[in-house]
Amino acid sequence: MGIKGVLKNIKKYGAYGTWKLYRQRDEERRHVADQQRAFLEKEKEQGAFTGDEPEYKEYLRRLDEPKGFKAYLRELHDRVTRDELPRIYEEASKAPVEDKIIVMERGYAPSPSSAHLAEVLESQGRYRIVYMSMEIRNCTFLKYYNNVKEFIRELGTAKAVLITTANDYLSYIDLRPETKVIQLWHGVGTFKKIGYSTISSRSFGLSQQYRDEFDQYKNYSYVTIASEEQAWIFEDAMHISRDSGILAPVGISRTDLFYDDEYKAEARRRLNEFCPGINGRKILLYAPTFRGTVNNAKAPDKLDVEAFGEALSEDYVLLIKHHSVCENRRPPIPEKWAGSFAYDINASTEISIEDLLVLADVCITDYSSIAFEYSILERPILFFAYDLDDYIDERGMYLDYSELTPGPVCRTNKEMIEYIKALPGSFEGEYADEIHAFRQKYVNRCDGHATERTIALIEK
């Protein structure tokens, strides 16, 4: 960035804020480059490249130029998105539409956000379900864009596609009218700003210019949301009018599992297998969001497991579930408490976040949408917001955080421990009333019938 850009940022964020922003960007560039080198070597070993291809050599050369690599990726993205994907789709869509529904994930399919709906659709037998994983942040960008091209070929003849995150694959495609794109979204609600709402953020989100060039929310037929009350948030985030009929308050499919006794019994079995030391103790779930950017995400490390263990291990176990984008950048659990009181659930491939939510007696989160899901169960929620001021400064919030949260906002471990120790046998009182009101306002369509209403959108 030139001197004008630096001066502009200093004026906007101050000298320290600008230094922090540039340091974060440099760290992210290094992290991405190291990650891509590892992926490239792995894919070469698997036979995806011989090492002699011009494309491979150019990729490797650009990796050694961090700033040049970023420019190269933008060139690759623009060429694929603007030119190649529309051509692929135009050719593929000449064939008739099939009774086929694609479950597409930028990561791996299906994600928790689409898994239950896909399972129900598959059991009904009316549609062929095609799972497609773009593997972003798990492969080179070369492979990633090849995955995207294959998705667009399949999309050409699909009845519908289910997605759960924003992407710009469709931004230059004229979608055939017979195909529906249904955005299930990956959160039941949101405290923090997303999409277009993050344009003014200094370190998170995409620029206005980028969003104008590549509309991530183009071609949506429906966006499923948890209540009518949330429509204005998604209107602001996606620039989709709440009067368009696209924002559909039908509920969030995966929350139907909260009403399924058979599912809850299976979740208990899975958890007991992974955490045999529970021994009838109550479950305390810590499920925070990440810190930093998606490409350089870190797990928060301020929860004092030792203090929690000393104070609460007789009555509770602590299950820790960090955001999936944190990869292996998670704080270790102290050896004294690992496996007896505290468990790293990210180490399990069998236990889902839904499993944890239906079984937890108390949930600690921060700015995560987990709070919206957990409020459906009307159990105690604590908000560990030790970095609240910094987080609001970086991400922004749609509403006043301290007023919206249906539970105590804690800055210290001591506050949380004291609150948990004082919880009565049956949850009642001020915060119980707040959670009930929160549920009725923000997640009232998550009533156990969201899946059937979502399927009706496909067939509408």
Map residue 356 onto helix, strand or coil. Answer: helix
Sign of CA dihedral 6, 12, 14, 16: negative
Note the pLDDT of residue 127: 97
pTM of the model: 0.88
Distance from the first to the final alpha carbon of the chain: 49
Instruction: Please list the ranges in the chain whose pLDDT falls under 70.
Output: 1-13, 16-22, 24-25, 66, 201-204, 327, 426, 428-429
- Which tokens in the block code for residue 281? 């103790």
Instruction: Provide the CATH number for the domain formed by 261-442 in this structure.
Output: 3.40.50.12580
Q: Considering only CA atoms, which of 297, 161, 173, 274 is closest in space to residue 221?
A: 161
Residue with tokens 């623009």: 78
Same fold for the pair 77-252+446-460 and 261-442: yes
Question: Which residue ranges make up each domain of the chain?
Answer: 1-64, 77-252+446-460, 261-442
Q: What are phi and psi of 119, to 5 degrees?
A: -65, -45
- Which tokens in the block code for residue 114? 């689409």
Which CATH architecture is the domain 77-252+446-460 placed in? 3-Layer(aba) Sandwich (3.40)
- Which tokens in the block code for residue 178? 């017979």
Note the pLDDT of residue 418: 96
Q: For residues 408 and 392, give the distance between their C-alpha atoms in angstroms, rounded to a whole number.
A: 18
Q: For residues 257 and 355, give the distance between their C-alpha atoms in angstroms, rounded to a whole number.
A: 9
Note the pLDDT of residue 34: 82
Note the pLDDT of residue 108: 86
Query: To 10 degrees, what angle do helices 305-312 and 413-421 make?
Result: 20
* Cα-based angle 362, 380, 431 (whole degrees, multiple of 5): 165
Instruction: Give pLDDT tens digits for 230-279.
Output: 999 999 999 999 999 999 999 999 999 999 999 999 999 999 999 999 99
Map residue 344 onto helix, strand or coil. Answer: strand
Note the pLDDT of residue 182: 98
Q: Which helix (H) or strand (E) holds 181?
A: strand 180-183
- Which tokens in the block code for residue 77? 């993205």
- Which tokens in the block code for residue 293? 């950017």
Q: For residues 232 and 363, give the distance between their C-alpha atoms in angstroms, rounded to a whole number.
A: 27
Number of Cβ within 10 Å of residue 154's Cβ equals: 16
